[in-house]
Amino acid sequence: MRRMSLPPGPQSPSVWTTLQWLRRPYPFLEECREKYGETFTFGLYGLPPLVVFSNPEHVREVFHDDGESLLGGKFNRSLAPLLGDSSVLMTDGRDHKRKRKLLAPPFRGERMHGYGESMLEITSKILDGLPRGTAFPLHEVMQQITLEVIIRTVFGIAEGPRFDDMVQRTKRILELGSWPPLLLPIMQHELGGRSPYGRFREAVRRGDEVVFDEIRRRRRDGVRGTDVLSLLLDAKDEDGQVPSEGELRDELVTLLVAGHETTATGLTWAFRWLLTQPGTFADLRAAVDELGPNPSPEQIAKCEFLDATVREALRLVPVIPLVGRVLEKPMRLGGWDLPKGVAVVCSIYLAHRRPEAYPQPAEFDPARFVGKKFSASEFYPFGGGVRTCVGMAFAFYEMKMVMARILSRLELRLAQSSFKMVRRSITITPEQGLLVRASDRRFARAS
């Protein structure tokens, strides 16, 4: 019998490590790696120990699992109060496979052509409404763009009172839900309507009202379009079952939440680097200008330097620091015999900062992605294996559309000099949401 033991890690009380993890996740991960080596363990208050991997061999072992022994749904439980128990993010095994089969088709690579024009259109409309000369947080603008894009993609609505209501209610949920302590099970108790969790739950209930209303309305009137809800309303699983109203709600809210805040944050980070590196910015703008005055979504999507810039931004500060799975049974992983119940996590951040794969890892250098592909265990901003992000192709595509349109329309100048990382629930954003000033680009091409 092999002895089970956990890799070394901080021995401080879990309240302290939880605080570190919530307040300064990336420095905390770096300090642990420095002190305990590339594989280490840390504890979070009220949760099983987390064993952190970043070596590509070990990450490959985790991503290789078929989803029966390493449970991502169990790891993601802290998101259940928002996404619901039957969200694809919350389920495991057969149920998880069934849900992915329903959700994945509209987000496959070949479907992207249909979304490009509306992504460009929404971006232009929002850029037109921006103040000129006064500072504003770029992150909020990116959230507005990505929220409108995802509502149009998922619900097929793009304007009018129902659309505005959905935007406002979703924003309110995110605003209240971005307070990091709400991720902890101990904070997830409704202690009256004025407590942080109570107010958050009330916002979720108000959000649900419009989502349920939309599901019922569409079921009633029978109108179908090319949106994701139309597909889900008519979908049947292998057993011929149609999704219940509750299941539909959970998947729709999952797509709304997972599909916009992440992309907005990735875009904001890309501009954080571009605006402090004028040389790289000029190279990228030249590459976009070369596409001509009115490039099609397909031309933009194929622009190699733009693609490399998006990848490099997601490498340097991945929007989500790690992905996790809970062990359903004792297993040997990364050379350690681990007991049932612990969580293994693949640190996206630490893997993306390995000098073996990325020389001078702290530098922003899109050229490292030009003509080079990294393996799925070296570069994985969208997680991996059977749980790889459903919206990966969509997010890559959208980031390129939005960036190209901004580059050809606007001049942006930074209005802040410190760029500390701040946690918003599970995502990490730049401090103050990246304050910038915008002006119209001189000699901007018509687009």
Tokens of 58: 């070990």
Residues near 220 by Cβ (< 8 Å), separated by ≥ 6? none
Q: Determine which helix (DSSP H) or strand (DSSP E) holds 82, and give its type and residue range.
A: helix 80-83
Pattern 262-301, ligand HEM, x by CB under 6 A: xx--x-----------------------------------
- 391 binds ligand HEM per the rule CB under 6 A: yes
Give the one residue of 89, 151, 229, 436 binding ligand HEM; rule: CB under 6 A.
Answer: 89
Q: Exposure pattern of 399-433 as b/e (b: 16+ CB <10 Å)?
A: bbbbbbbbbbbbebebeeeebeebbbbbbbbbebb
- 256 binds ligand HEM per the rule CB under 6 A: no
- 310 binds ligand HEM per the rule CB under 6 A: no
The backbone region for 45, taken as left when phi is positive above 0, alpha when psi lies in -120 to 50, beta otherwise, is beta
Q: What are the backbone dihedrals phi and psi of residue 241, each rounded to the nearest 5 degrees, phi first? A: -85, 140
Pattern 148-187, ligand HEM, x by CB under 6 A: ----------------------------------------
Nearer to ligand HEM, 348 or 436 (CB): 348
Amino acid at 22: L
- 381 binds ligand HEM per the rule CB under 6 A: yes
Span interacting with ligand HEM, options 27-35, 261-269, 279-287, 408-416, rule CB under 6 A: 261-269
Tokens of 208: 């649900």
Taking the complex as a whole, the smallest distance from the CB of residue 345 to ligand HEM amounts, in Å, to 10
Give the one residue of 29, 327, 395, 412 binding ligand HEM; rule: CB under 6 A.
Answer: 395
Q: How far apart are CA 91 and CA 73, in angstroms?
A: 5
- 100 binds ligand HEM per the rule CB under 6 A: yes
First-last CA distance in the chain: 68
- 258 binds ligand HEM per the rule CB under 6 A: yes
- 316 binds ligand HEM per the rule CB under 6 A: no
Tokens of 280: 């790289």
Q: How far apart are CA 148 and CA 154, in angstroms?
A: 10
Interface positions, 43-72, toward ligand HEM (CB under 6 A): 72
Binding site for ligand HEM (CB under 6 A): 72, 88-89, 100, 107, 254-255, 258-259, 262-263, 266, 319-320, 323, 381-384, 387-391, 394-395
